[in-house]
Amino acid sequence: MSYICPICKNTLALNAWGNAYRCENNHSFDLAKDGYVNLLPVQKKHSKDPGDTKEMIGARHEFLASGFYDQMAENLVETIQSTILDSQGKRILDLGCGEGFYSRQLKVGISDSEQIELHGLDIAKDAIILASKKQKDSKFVVASSNDLPFPDHYFDLVYRVYAPSNDSELFRVIKPSGHLLIVTPGPRHLWQLKEMIYEEAREHNSEGIEPTGFKQVKSLQKSYTIKPDQELRMSLLQMTPFAWQTTEKVKKEIYDKDNFEIEVDFIFSLYQKLS
Ligand SMILES: C[S@@+](CC[C@H](N)C(=O)[O-])C[C@H]1O[C@@H](n2cnc3c(N)ncnc32)[C@H](O)[C@@H]1O
Ligand SMILES: [Zn+2]
């Protein structure tokens, strides 16, 4: 596998000691003990710790480990499995992978998983540290979705779950006829939380915009209800942008509510690159 240098775009090669990637211009990036590489140079960072905060990453980790999104992860794995029917030597990227929940689910759930070269990328270093610690059979990199450190036409499939992307970078790194799977919130996602937080809750606009250079080949919606306990409701709040919009009073109401059932609603949009 080869990364490309985020500074000069030449190929990066692992050195003889296997502890750093270097390009022919001597730009060098250490391979951390946990197996991830940080390809986000300081000069390309817009803040000290870009991406999700440690608190959000911890909350998401705790919430996802509770199993409430397992059903959605199964739908994700099934969709990927049916898209890459022959899984011989396929390359997949989890874009904005966070703490790696869906990468782990994919490796466990997909058949012939040893044939899959799976990469996870996120701009938040703390998320990548956690993901790489938990999944040694995949490759994790700190980088921005606006500047992907991969060669042209590298991936058979890129997926992103609630994470940002850049159309021209997606077009560049996906093979001709390769696939892009985008998971976004459906109209009723976390509706009961929204009703408590906002004076006038609005449904998510779930209309997918076709990324330039791709055509939509499938769209499906999966909805169900969850009943997280009081602590997990707080984690759910903390891992979403609701965290900043919820007053202490409403947080307490959410915490105290009996038998609180919350709708989750996911839209899976599958696109194929036009070749
Ligand atoms: C809502 S979280 C979703 C994480 C993961 N996909 C999941 O569903 O568990 C969005 C993720 O996108 C990452 N992110 C934000 N901006 C990014 C960028 N420009 N490039 C790469 N990742 C980014 C955040 O750090 C965060 O981990
Ligand atoms: Zn370089």
Residue-wise pLDDT for 129-181, tens only, equals 999 999 999 999 999 999 999 999 999 999 999 999 999 999 999 999 999 99
List of domains in the chain: 1-31 (no CATH), 35-273 (3.40.50.150)
Q: Which residues contact 77 (CB under 8 A, 6 or more apart)?
A: 105, 106, 109, 110
For ligand 1, say whether the CB of 39 is within 6 Å of any of its atoms: no
pTM (2 decimals)?
Answer: 0.96
Its sign, for the CA torsion 73, 79, 84, 87, is positive
pLDDT at 195: 95
pLDDT at 94: 98
For ligand 1, say whether the CB of 128 is within 6 Å of any of its atoms: no
For ligand 1, say whether the CB of 255 is within 6 Å of any of its atoms: no
pLDDT at 87: 63
What are the angstrom distances between the C-alpha of 186 and each of 24, 112, 130, 196, 257?
Answer: 46, 31, 28, 18, 24
Residue having the nearest C-alpha atom to atom 10 of ligand 1: 163
Q: Using CB atoms within 10 Å of the CB of residue 97, give its burial: 0 to 12 exposed, 13 to 18 middle, 19+ buried.
A: buried
pLDDT tens digits for 224-248? 999 999 999 999 999 998 888 999 9
Closest atom, ligand 1, to C-alpha of 240: 1
Q: Which residues contact 167 (CB under 8 A, 6 or more apart)?
A: 211, 212, 213
What's the pLDDT band for 206 if we cut at 50, 70, 90? low
What is the DSSP-derived secondary structure letter of residue 10? P
pLDDT at 141: 98
98 or 199, which is more confident?
98
| CA gap 60, 101 in Å, rounded | 9
Torsion of CA 220, 222, 223, 224, to 10 degrees: 160
CB 61, CB 131: distance < 8 Å? no
pLDDT at 208: 72
* Tokens 């466990």, residue located: 108
Assess whether pLDDT exceeds 80 at residue 60: yes
For ligand 1, say whether the CB of 211 is within 6 Å of any of its atoms: no
Assess whether pLDDT exceeds 80 at residue 275: no
Q: What average pLDDT does the segment 72-89 reach? A: 90
What average pLDDT does the structure give for the chain? 94
